[in-house]
Structure 1
Amino acid sequence: MFRTHIRSAVPVSVRLGAAAVAAVLVLGGCSGSGDPEAEAAENGSSSASPTGSAAPGETATPTATPTPTPTAAYKPATAEGPAENVPLPVMPELAKEKSKEGLEAFAEYWYSLINYGYETGDPEPLKEISGPDCSVCAHFYSSLESGYDNQDWMAGSVVTVRDVRSDFILTPSGSYQVLIQIMQADLEYYGPGIDYGPSDGTPSPIVQLMEASYENNSWYAVLVENI
């Protein structure tokens, strides 16, 4: 169960062949003039300077190699401060399919957005794929509202999906049902220099029911509730 914490209660070579590197080496036959000095002069004038070499009296400038821009490191939330650089979960391709496997993958993705919200205080990614009748969603939104009030933040709270099952049978309402077994760590609430104390998670597995519809080539969580 996603608990609502009320603040007043303290809450993932191309190999170039040798022929492609230099094309064809053309060996030009030179008829000797019989004059060693003339041949030496001719050979000297036909010698090309290497690409990138400096002209006489100049210093060759080495070609600069671009330096990759480092990705900011993810940092989980602690009592010292909120999480940083939290990556937004990417929906797997399987979760876009209208199939039993697709629905189950969508359910797992849905809970990854729950965890993203707990780390960032941002419920919008979940709202985009959830309906207004989702009771679990309502508790989740309330937790974020209280947990991220002013300069406060949350830690812990991680939801672990243990199992996902669906019979993939169309219901009279036109949706499909999937059962999800989860556990959740305690919800921790902090502020600058303040530890509000935790709100109990669910150390023992519980089961939630999701009803999802498939519209416009994507799944949509019509409702999610405890059973």
Structure 2
Amino acid sequence: QTTLSFSTSNWQTEQTVTVSAADDDNAGPEEVRLSHSASGGNYDSLRQDLVVTVTDDDTASLGLVLSPLPLTMVEGESATYTIKLATPPTEAVTVTVSGMGSGMSVDTDGALAGAQTSLGFRSRWLTSPSNWNVEQTVTVSVAADDNTIPDTVTLSHSAAGGEYDAVSRELVVTVLDTAVPGLVLSSATAPLALEEGGSATYTVRLSQAPTDGVVTVTVLGGMSSGVSLDTDAGTEGDQA
């Protein structure tokens, strides 16, 4: 097991977890679920899951790669996730995001006025430079509401163009209330979709200050699938 510690002085500080995947003999992508269980203060018994997508470094199948899965955020704030294609397309591909619902908005291009909801991907066979395997960022914003119940919104992603016609994928967004304790998981500089033999990072923080003492977050899962975790890259070996 791997643990992180939070107190009243560092609960807002994002702590980084490095995920590494070993090579195996299986072809095709695998999904590994990491569970995060909290204990201490008013965080006892809280749990939040994160899905890691591991793609084979020899073969790739058609699909949309989203990271992180799922996405956790706090109401009144913004969060981001990334999208890329799993394989080079034969034609230009457009991915459209929908399903935001009341109080939630997405923007795929902050440089343009208004909220954009689509992304474009190209192959090196069609134009230069290609960007089918470049992570493009989607920003999700949620307004604060009057209730204290966590909300769950499922965003749909539909692709169009070439062999990607009718390809789709969903992303579950969990919105935590500012008045209720919760774990906020998000991707860092590298997306949480990695190839065998590679690594990626994500961060963990608390949604509000603990009432007292230290909150310990324990990360479990993935080890039997060749996935290892490290909460302190500055210390030699996996910290467990």
Provide the TM-score with structure 2 as the length reference. Answer: 0.27
Greater Rg by CA: 1
Q: Which has the higher contact order (CA 8 A, sep 6+)?
A: 2
Provide the TM-score with structure 1 as the length reference. Answer: 0.28
